[in-house]
Structure 1
């Protein structure tokens, strides 16, 4: 049951990372001025849409919750491993399967923290990049009007 959650979480974050990556790449291409102006104008209209803003905020909220949950899961697995190491000194025999299972859980939780954290970070970078491009578009429009 926990494996299913990990897979769902990773799939969502990987899709988000792919969308953010493709979007950033698409925005970074040095388009001709007419296409870039059209792109910036379209993004500006989408950015002022309440629905687009709410959708983006909800996605960020979900990714933030997943990041916090992944971090909590990583901490609890690490505590479980530490407890097992303390008990291993007393018992001297630790079940190899249990150790492998806990180390696999630790790997998965660390991976989830990295994936969700990077998704969150790259989403915020995309927002900043959009704001910079919008500002450039506004400045170019002002320059064209003054000519």
Structure 2
């Protein structure tokens, strides 16, 4: 058994984890403008809406969950696979290496499942932030327009040139 080559299933999960981490880092980076935030968030959302991508992601997540459960079971009873008794004994180099490999695989699968949930939440938060900033921009524009209109209006009942502070002196 060659331990230096990673199995294809684990390689797929590692690549999926790297892709998830890349998307999370991309989405949490400071954005130069709200338009960039919207474009990036919409790109990730549209990518997730495509049927092929969605099915591939769910298939990899199912594989991830299966490997996670398998690895948890292997770590819970590490000597079961070796047909050794559970009495205390010195761990050989091969058993230690197997334990370290299972631990690494647990980090890969657990991290991938966790990062997927984080990615899902970040896309949701970023899209809501984009919508709210667009709404604030619309309201600020409407406020400026209204302020400009109201600045041209002379209050009624006060002669031009008289102060509008409530201290009007009638003639």
**Band of TM-score, shorter chain:** 0.7 to 0.9
**Comparing both chains, which one has the higher relative contact order based on Cα–Cα distances under 8 Å and sequence gaps of 6 or more?**
1
Bigger shift: residues 124-133 or 27-36: 27-36
User: 1:78, 1:106 within 8 Å by CA — same for their partners in 2?
Assistant: no
TM-score, structure 1 normalization = 0.73
Count of paired positions: 139
Higher helix share: 1
- Structure 2: where are the runs of 5+ without partners? 142-171
1:140, distance to aligned residue in structure 2 (A): 2.9
State the shift of 1:36 in Å: 1.9
Displacement of 1:125 in angstroms is 0.9
2:120 is matched with which residue?
A: 127
Residue 87 of structure 2 is aligned to residue 86 of structure 1: yes
CA contact (8 A) 2:64 2:113 kept: yes
TM-score norm. by structure 2 comes to: 0.64
- Larger radius of gyration, structure 1 or 2? 2
User: CA deviation digits over 1:101-135, x for unaligned, max 9?
Assistant: 22222221122112211111112111111111122
Is contact 2:13-2:108 (8 Å) kept? yes
Structure 2: how far apart are the matches of 1:18 and 1:7? 17
